[in-house]
Structure 1
Amino acid sequence: MKPFISTAVYGVLNYIVALTLIASPWLFGFVNVSSAALLLPMYIGWLQLIMAIFSNNETGFIKQFPLTIHHVLDVLMGFVILVSPWLYTFASKVFWPQLILGGLLFCMGLFTKKSPFTTRNPHNHSVGFLTSTDSN
């Protein structure tokens, strides 16, 4: 599938999702559900915020963290948030905020331009000086 989220929009969404994840236990009222419901979104939100600040894109302030690694970690962290209500057995009390925020983070990592999941690697994988068009 072709990536459809620009890196500038991705950068702004990344800050919004990170801050929403950090505040989500209080915003959506699941502070007293369980420690996993409280701490997991906060930890992942802080990691997202730190990665967004150090990310090498238009909205990164320090521009040291490679964007491809950021996308891979977005997919992994989004998946963890997405399945956390069932993994840590608090789905009977709350699951919509984790489902929506985890799915959004997962999709952001997949469908942003320059994502390693939807963009081909521009590097030529030749061995030595031989390429695939050279004869043996």
Structure 2
Amino acid sequence: MISSSLNHLLCVYPAFCEKWYGIGFISGKFNQLKCKIMKIISRKAHGYLDYLVGILLIASPWLFNFYAGGAESWLPIILGAGTILYSLFTNYELGMIKLMDMRTHLVMDFAAGAFLALSPWIFGFADMVFVPHLVIGLGEILVAIMTNPKPVSQEDLLH
């Protein structure tokens, strides 16, 4: 029971999946720690999602009619611009400058999604609006968790 709970907890955080996969952890009970989350989103697909979500976040105060000039409006705008910016600097198929590795990018996506999802309660505007922040934030977390950080090789495509 503890083993599967720990496995689930660790595998939610993408960097732990590969780091601890098949490696002894704490004691013999954890020797066969394996990730169960399927990494079904390719890096290239993730790149397209990054830029789309960045644009969606920037436009969301007007798209979902909640622009009021406060934190509820500026947080998604800033996080959207940040997503586009760090995506341009990521070493993946749609990055331009390629300074940041994919694992760091996924950690940033996860953190930004969690922050966005919790922001209505952190900053006290949940009584005004919370659904777009929560839904987009949880979506970012899911995409980060389900993205394969490794590039797809030509050999993988043939099998």
TM beyond 0.5 = yes
Amino acid at match of 1:31: Y
When the two structures are superposed, what TM-score results if normalisation uses the length of structure 1?
0.79
Q: Distance in 2 between matches of 1:104 and 1:14?
A: 11
Which residue does the alignment assign to 1:130?
none
Q: Distance in 1 between matches of 2:60 and 2:80?
A: 9
1:27 paired with 2:63, answer: yes
The CA RMSD measured in Å over matched residues stands at 1.4
Does the residue aligned with 1:47 lie in a helix, a strand or coil? helix
- Aligned partner of 2:51 among 11, 15, 19: 15
1:60 Cα deviation (Å)? 1.0
Per-residue Cα deviation, 1:8-39 (whole angstroms, up to 9, x for no partner):
1100000000111111111111111x611011
Does the residue aligned with 1:55 lie in a helix, a strand or coil? coil
Which residue does the alignment assign to 1:107?
142
1:2 Cα deviation (Å)? 2.2
Amino acid at match of 2:146: F
- Matching of residues 1-136 of structure 1 within 5 Å: 1-32=37-68, 35-114=70-149
Amino acid at match of 2:92: N
Q: Distance in 1 between matches of 2:75 and 2:89?
A: 21
Amino acid at match of 2:82: L
Uncovered stretches (5+) of structure 1, i.e. residues with no partner: 116-136
Which residue does the alignment assign to 2:29?
none
The runs of 4+ residues in structure 1 deviating greater than 6 Å are none
Amino acid at match of 2:79: I
Q: Distance in 2 between matches of 1:47 and 1:66?
A: 16
1:100 Cα deviation (Å)? 1.4
Report sequence identity in percent.
Answer: 35
Amino acid at match of 2:56: T
1:113 Cα deviation (Å)? 0.1
Amino acid at match of 2:131: W
Amino acid at match of 1:23: A
1:66 Cα deviation (Å)? 1.1
Amino acid at match of 1:43: I
Indicate the structure with greater helix content: 2
